[in-house]
Amino acid sequence: MLSFDEARERILRDVEPLGTERALLADALGRVLAEALTAAQPMPAFDYSAMDGYAVRSADLSGAGPWSLPVAGESRTGATPPELAAGAACRIFTGAALPLGADAVVMQEDVERDGEQARFESRPAVGSHVRKRGEDLDVGGLGLAAGTRLGPAQIGLAAAMDRAELPVFVRPRVSILCTGDELRAPGSPARPGSIPESNGQALSATLRVLGAAPRLLPYVRDDREATLAAVRDALSGADLLLTVGGVSVGEHDLVRPALEAAGARLDFWKVAIRPGKPLVFGRCGATRILGLPGNPVSAQVTFALFGAPLVRMLAGDRKPVPGFRRARLTQAVRQKAGRMSFVRGTLDGDAVTPLPNQASGAPTSMAWADCLLVVPAESEGFAAGAEVSVLALGSL
């Protein structure tokens, strides 16, 4: 049985990003930038005012104040700025280009207006309340590095850099196949012993957040021929196949033999972790395969630990493996030694509190958790106040 570190190393070994394509900004959320984004022009492209007020030439306010200057014209956003006459002030608005010849802006709260005259009590420093051309990015400056995952702020920056589309890595195509006689569609009539199928929905949602293209197949009953047919269908056109359930050693666990019958080469099928001991990894041609346990918590925890970094690598993310951080336990944690345990908990600053229900079949413990705290395999737990390693689920 493999350790956590060895299993993850094998899963992530030799993984390369998929191809590249261009995506419109509206379609780029969650994608990964394939090439560095550098400035083709200065940003901002011109000097502009950071305040509503009056643009002046600071040298015109020399000697002892106060000073009074005639107001000549105005500079508005989106318009060509006027040229500032010598010895005059120009009305200006936030975001408007600085008039030619002006080198400072006095905000309107510090100016007394009397008809066509503006009275100034103090002389502004050169550059006061002026956003200079190129002060954020000069020509050739790096806006976004290759491998950056594109969130709202990154897409906003790309738009500010005057880009309508971006070079991105292709979305990994991920098939999801859930198995089990007990499964039924959420909202469908219940039958004795049935449960709503939830793993596929959770995984599909997670994959969309990761920038992948999930394909959730109809769940399949515990039947050898049906499972084999479903596995072959799921492998078709997929970069990654996620199976859920049927990977243990019971007589109704049919996924592993179906994968082998479909031509898959399986690398391992057990990992020394809790929850999630039955975990299958292998390949069928170019398609990677990750067989997750069927219990909801086990499926989501193993995907968070192994599947999410794999998808991130396929998607080109330059930081595919989230880091652990340290936090202090608010109460004791007890686990049986022998396997590394991942305990669902909640973070509050630097404090972590384990959730009371740690059963692998309790979806609430994942829905309410925002982190996994780690109990090493050789440990039986920690006392309250101990410092532990935690993985923030939001970082996945």
pLDDT in tens, 80-137: 999 999 999 999 999 999 999 999 999 999 999 999 999 999 999 999 999 999 999 9
Write down the residue that tokens 């925890």 correspond to.
301
Q: Is residue 361 within 8 Å of residue 297, measured between CB atoms?
A: yes
pLDDT for position 361: 84
Asked if the model's pLDDT at residue 159 lies above 80, the reply is yes
What is the residue type of 312? R
pLDDT for position 252: 61
Q: Let me know whether 13 and 25 are in one domain.
A: no
Q: β-strand 37-38 against 48-49: which pairing, if any? A: unpaired
pLDDT band at 247 (very low <50, low <70, confident <90, very high): confident
Determine the length of the chain: 396
Asked if the model's pLDDT at residue 396 lies above 90, the reply is no
The greatest distance separating any two alpha carbons of the chain, rounded to the nearest whole angstrom, comes to 96
Query: DSSP labels for 25-55?
Result: GGG-TT-BBSS-EE-SS-BSSS-EESSSEEE
Q: Let me know whether 301 and 188 are in one domain.
A: yes
Asked if the model's pLDDT at residue 314 lies above 80, the reply is yes
pLDDT, averaged across the chain: 95
Domain presence at residue 219: yes
Q: Is residue 7 within 8 Å of residue 308, measured between CB atoms?
A: no
Q: Let me know whether 38 and 163 are in one domain.
A: yes
pLDDT band at 63 (very low <50, low <70, confident <90, very high): confident
Instruction: Choose the final residue of a domain: 282, 314, 346.
Output: 314
- The mean-pLDDT minimum among 2-6, 23-27, 179-183 falls in 179-183
Instruction: Choose the final residue of a domain: 294, 314, 334.
Output: 314
Instruction: Choose the final residue of a domain: 293, 314, 335.
Output: 314
Domain presence at residue 30: yes
Domain presence at residue 342: yes
Q: Let me know whether 338 and 379 are in one domain.
A: yes
Q: Which residue range is the domain that position 109 belongs to? A: 48-131
Q: Is residue 169 within 8 Å of residue 18, measured between CB atoms?
A: yes
**Quick check: bond before 66 cis, omega within 30?**
yes
Query: DSSP labels for 123-178?
Result: PPPTTTTEEPTTSSB-TT-EEE-TT-B--HHHHHHHHHTT-SEEEEEPPPEEEEEE
Q: β-strand 67-75 against 117-120: which pairing, if any? A: antiparallel
Q: Within its chain, how far is the Cα of 91 from the centroid? A: 44
Domain presence at residue 109: yes
Query: Based on C-alpha coordinates, what's the Rg of the chain?
Result: 30
Q: How far is the C-alpha of 100 from the C-alpha of 302, rounded, in Å?
A: 62
Domain presence at residue 320: no
CATH number at residue 299: 3.40.980.10
CATH number at residue 26: 3.90.105.10
Q: Let me know whether 213 and 307 are in one domain.
A: yes
Percent residues over pLDDT 90 in the chain: 92
DSSP state, 389? E
What are 250-277's pLDDT values in tens digits? Answer: 666 799 999 999 999 999 999 999 999 9
Average pLDDT over residues 202-231: 95
Name the token pair of 75: 């500079």
Q: Let me know whether 349 and 368 are in one domain.
A: yes
Percent helix, percent strand, percent coil in the chain, to nearest 5: 20, 35, 45
Residue 366, strand partner residues? none
CATH number at residue 111: 2.170.190.11
CATH number at residue 336: 2.40.340.10
Q: β-strand 325-329 against 104-107: which pairing, if any? A: unpaired
Q: Let me know whether 156 and 191 are in one domain.
A: no
pLDDT for position 348: 96
Of residues 358, 229, 224, 215, the one with CA closest to residue 295: 358
Q: Let me know whether 100 and 112 are in one domain.
A: yes
Structural domains counted in the chain: 4
Q: Let me know whether 73 and 111 are in one domain.
A: yes
pLDDT for position 386: 97
pLDDT band at 322 (very low <50, low <70, confident <90, very high): confident
Average pLDDT over residues 268-296: 95
pLDDT for position 249: 62
The torsion region of residue 202 among left (phi > 0), alpha (psi -120 to 50) and beta comes to alpha
Write down the pTM of the prediction.
Answer: 0.86
Q: Let me know whether 119 and 241 are in one domain.
A: no
Domain presence at residue 319: no
Asked if the model's pLDDT at residue 282 lies above 90, the reply is yes
What are 23-43's pLDDT values in tens digits? Answer: 999 999 999 999 999 999 999
Q: Let me know whether 163 and 26 are in one domain.
A: yes
What is the residue type of 116? E
Q: Let me know whether 358 and 331 are in one domain.
A: yes
Q: Within its chain, how far is the Cα of 64 from the centroid? A: 56
